[in-house]
Amino acid sequence: MDAVRLIVTSRRALATSGGVRELLTEVWQAQALAQAIGSRLAVAGPPELRGEALGLTELAGRGCGVLGAPDLGPDELRAARLTELGETRPVLMHLGGLLGEVGIALVGLASSAADEATYWQCVEAIDAADESRDRVLEMLRKLADRDAHVPEREAG
């Protein structure tokens, strides 16, 4: 499945998640998807994005690690269904939106956490999601800079 469709699916699942466990599972799914997209971009993306993409992979992996892997069957892991990236800019725009929504959901969860462990887990996951989103925004900036410096092609 292409990256944008998976991101849209993750955004819907995050928006409709109910309890704490379900929300944390969706946050983990979003971070795992960001990690997979970052990995693909680091290997086969535009050369000017590869360093930031590698950083995204590491940060999203940290976000997954903070939360711990949920009990998911092999067919439930969205990141494993990633078959193609498609156009880089739309993927990054959608991913940035997803990571922003992840941060907002985690803030809500942290503010209503029943115990200190869940609170700190959310705080660390917020940090990872925020830093991951910063990497995505930096990649979008680099794409914009690249496009601004491409000479106009003459009509042929």
Average pLDDT by stretches of 10, the chain with 156 residues: 95 92 94 97 94 95 91 89 94 97 95 91 95 96 87 50
CA distance 134 to 140: 10
pLDDT at 77: 93
Angle made by CA atoms 8, 13, 16, in degrees to the nearest 5: 125
Gap between the Cα atoms of 62 and 46, Å rounded: 24
- Taking residue 53's Cβ as centre, other Cβ atoms within 10 Å add up to 24
Residue 156: the pLDDT is: 39
The pLDDT assigned to 147 comes to: 85
User: What are the backbone dihedrals phi and psi of residue 10, each rounded to the nearest 5 degrees, phi first?
Assistant: -65, -40
CA distance 155 to 145: 23
pLDDT at residue number 155? 41
Cα distance between residue 72 and residue 52, in whole Å: 29
Q: What is the pLDDT of residue 146?
A: 87
pLDDT at 153: 52
